[in-house]
Structure 1
Amino acid sequence: MSAGAPGPSPAADGEPLLGQAELEALLGDAGHGGDDGMRRVVGAGLVAYERLPMLEIVFDRLMRAMTGSLRGFTGDNVDVSMEGMSSLRFGDYLEGVPRPALLAVFRVEEWDNYGLLVVDSALVYSVVDVLLGGRRGNAAMRVEGRPHTSIERALAERLVSVVLDDLSEAFKPVSPVRFRFERLEVNPRFAAVSRGGNACVLSRFRVGMEDRGGGLELVLPYATLEPVREALLQQFMGEKLGRDSIWETHLGEELRLTELALDVVLDEQTMPLSAVLSLRRGDRITLDASPDAPVKLRCNDVDLFEGDLGRRKDRLAVRITRELRDAAVVAAAVEG
């Protein structure tokens, strides 16, 4: 080791904390062509985004819905399959979008956010070929390097509208929502619907039409899904509808046996803090209430009833004369 290079930090007993082999394992060895160790350390600090089990069911419903709707849209035998779903950062996805591709920006008004639907050029050419009378069994003619024409863009917009309608229907059991097409972009920089470092869910679909076809990619930022995050964490569609009658009966019986403390309020008045601090033993506080004035019954700082104060045998008693709050409001206030 050279004189200017710092060595491993010594431990309290004089031994180094890390040996040479451990340092090489941590930092990697560039001479052997392996991955850089420090890069692996930095990569390990990336956020591991949570899985949303219900989202997989939604995308499965979307795949089956698109199979039927695209058959009606194209008049051809269409097969839609899902190639995978993954989580990544939105900026990383935009950097890898192949060109030329059409990026459809859509808005989710109920969730007040946006998403992205990317149609690759192969699918655009295939849809144009099918809708404009191309022969069956022939692959769509592709012209590399040229931008999409206005006719191709118009037909792609119709395709996107069909897919977004199916996406709205797929999300319906989770939350009533409408995905509305907003604009079509060809430059990924103009389709930035989220910050580059934000997490997003990417799902890839393959649309096949005999010898033709292409890919669809649906990008939903986690911020867009946040309003329905709790619903998407469910394991199955009917989880939120499940009931346990035995537990409900037991809970109801226990609640009826619960004891609550009710305070009888004869009078209330506001006093300066100085007057309260000056109170001494033997001082009197005069109540501004007559013997026949109604009193209030209070629980947890919530006025529940109004009644008359009296006596029953050798005990003070209150006879309730009026409810001060609605029963549902009282229940909510007591729970709070």
Structure 2
Amino acid sequence: MAGPDDDFDDLAAEWGAAMAEQVGEAEGDAADWAAKLADTSDVADRKAADRVLTQDEVDGLLGFNPDELGLSEQSGIRAIINSALVSYERLPMLEIVFDRLVRLLTTSLRNFTSDNVEVSLDGIKSVRFGDYLNSIPLPAILSVFRAEQWDGFGLMTVDSALTYSIIDVLLGGRRGVTTMKVEGRPYTTIETSLVQRMIEVVLADAEHAFRPISEIHFSLDRLETNPRFAAITRSANAAILVNLRIDMEDRGGRIEMLIPYATLEPIRDVLLQQFMGEKFGRDATWEGHLATEIWQAKADVHAVLYEKRLPLREIMNLDVGDTLMLDVKPDDLVELRCGDQVLTEGRMGRAGEHVAVQVMRPLRRSNTTLAAFEAAGQVRKEAS
């Protein structure tokens, strides 16, 4: 016969089995939830990994890739910053001008140095003036020149390699000997004078190179060795930088000519041409044709005896038989008008059965030039 203790043990065993079953199910559910959370975290990690940009992508976004800083094609923030710069490709005539300068300079420097000189154009690019001043390698000789007809300034930089090469050549240095550079000291008066002569030769050739486009005279203003004293425009202003390479067998160097865009503004329309003689907006043939057609056009000319302004009330009250008084005399002149323009004055008379007007004063011509119309009229007369 079972006692109360046995019943208690059976009840405890039944409760224990039920608890074990519930705990097992809970652990299974927890394991399932943990697995699901792990899978979710893995997906989140993969998505986060997909959203992480590489260094190349960051450089491309910001535009600060060192390998691309020297290229004309820029992207990202740097492209936005430099968007105000003026590309020389918008002024295609500049390339033709400086190609002509290279040819002229090759001949002039050969005569100047009595040596075999080769001049080449390394490139034309747009820079900010302040950035260029900070990038000039020292020591260097900076020449500030003035473009008189354009009312502006330019800057020419001669690097130390070309400076010592020119000095060596002009003072009779032997070929094949490496040029000795003395660093840490300023240029002497003799060295500066010799380089100044070469700069004057370059400026003279630059005048000849620009002559087909515009009459210009470049005058040397001053020579500087410190870039701070060679400021000719604002630091943020755009400028055209021309890099010329000068080789004298085993010697040579570079000349950099910088012209601010504001200096080139007076001849901007000409520099926009793709080739010499291109017409922009003005065509002499079309002007002559238009003038000829205008000469043949018909215009209505009115002889105005008298003109008076009256209030609308008086005009509305006019009746048949009313008399309007004209404040003119019988011998007063009448105006000859074409539209609203008064051409001349004349005297009314009679020619046969018709009322006539005799022109008494010369025609009033416009202040604008009539050269095109007069030329077309002369051609028409000659043709007839």
Distance 1:218 1:21, change over 3 A: farther
User: Which residue matches 2:238?
Assistant: 199
Q: Does 2:165 correspond to 1:126? A: yes
Of 179-188 and 139-148, deviating more is 139-148
Amino acid of the residue matched to residue 86 of structure 2?
Y
Of 46-55 and 211-220, deviating more is 46-55
Distance 1:240 1:144 in 2: 53
Partners of 1:117 and 1:216 within 8 A in 2: yes
TM-score w.r.t. the length of structure 1 is: 0.78
Task: Determine what percentage of the aligned residue pairs are the same residue.
Answer: 50
User: Which residue matches 2:193?
Assistant: 154
User: Which residue matches 1:37?
Assistant: 61
Residue 267 of structure 1, CA deviation? 5.4
Amino acid of the residue matched to residue 211 of structure 1?
D
C-alpha distance after superposition, 1:102-123 (max 9, x if no partner):
1100111111111111111111
C-alpha distance after superposition, 1:42-91 (max 9, x if no partner):
32322252521111111111111111111111111111111111112111
Partners of 2:85 and 2:128 within 8 A in 1: no
Amino acid of the residue matched to residue 201 of structure 2?
V
Distance 2:226 2:176 in 1: 32
1:1-336 equivalent positions in 2, closer than 5 A: 29=53, 31=55, 34-35=58-59, 37-38=61-62, 40-45=75-80, 46-47=83-84, 49-50=86-87, 51-240=90-279, 247=286, 250-262=289-301, 264-266=303-305, 281-282=316-317, 287-299=326-338, 302-310=341-349, 317-325=356-364, 329=368, 331=370
Gaps of 5+ in 2: 1-46, 64-74, 374-384
* Greater radius of gyration (CA): 2
Distance 1:154 1:41, change over 3 A: same
User: Which residue matches 2:25?
Assistant: none
Distance 1:92 1:288, change over 3 A: farther
Amino acid of the residue matched to residue 47 of structure 1?
A
Partners of 1:138 and 1:212 within 8 A in 2: no
Distance 2:338 2:50 in 1: 65
Partners of 1:62 and 1:170 within 8 A in 2: yes
Amino acid of the residue matched to residue 215 of structure 1?
R
Distance 1:230 1:32, change over 3 A: closer
C-alpha distance after superposition, 1:290-321 (max 9, x if no partner):
23322333457654333223466887653333
SS at match of 1:102: strand
Partners of 2:85 and 2:238 within 8 A in 1: no
SS at match of 2:316: coil
Residue 154 of structure 1, CA deviation? 1.1
Distance 1:112 1:244, change over 3 A: closer
Partners of 1:52 and 1:232 within 8 A in 2: yes
Distance 1:21 1:53, change over 3 A: farther
Distance 1:126 1:296 in 2: 80
SS at match of 2:257: strand
SS at match of 2:95: helix
Distance 1:296 1:330 in 2: 24
TM-score w.r.t. the length of structure 2 is: 0.69
Gaps of 5+ in 1: 1-18
Distance 2:227 2:364 in 1: 58
Distance 1:263 1:217 in 2: 68
Partners of 2:247 and 2:253 within 8 A in 1: yes
C-alpha distance after superposition, 1:274-303 (max 9, x if no partner):
x86876534898654323322333457654
More helix as a share of residues: 2
Distance 2:100 2:133 in 1: 26
Distance 2:206 2:237 in 1: 22
Distance 1:176 1:52 in 2: 18
Distance 1:189 1:133, change over 3 A: same
Q: CA RMSD in A?
A: 3.6
Distance 1:239 1:141, change over 3 A: same
Distance 1:129 1:209, change over 3 A: same
User: Which residue matches 1:12?
Assistant: none
Distance 1:231 1:112 in 2: 17
Residue 248 of structure 1, CA deviation? 5.8
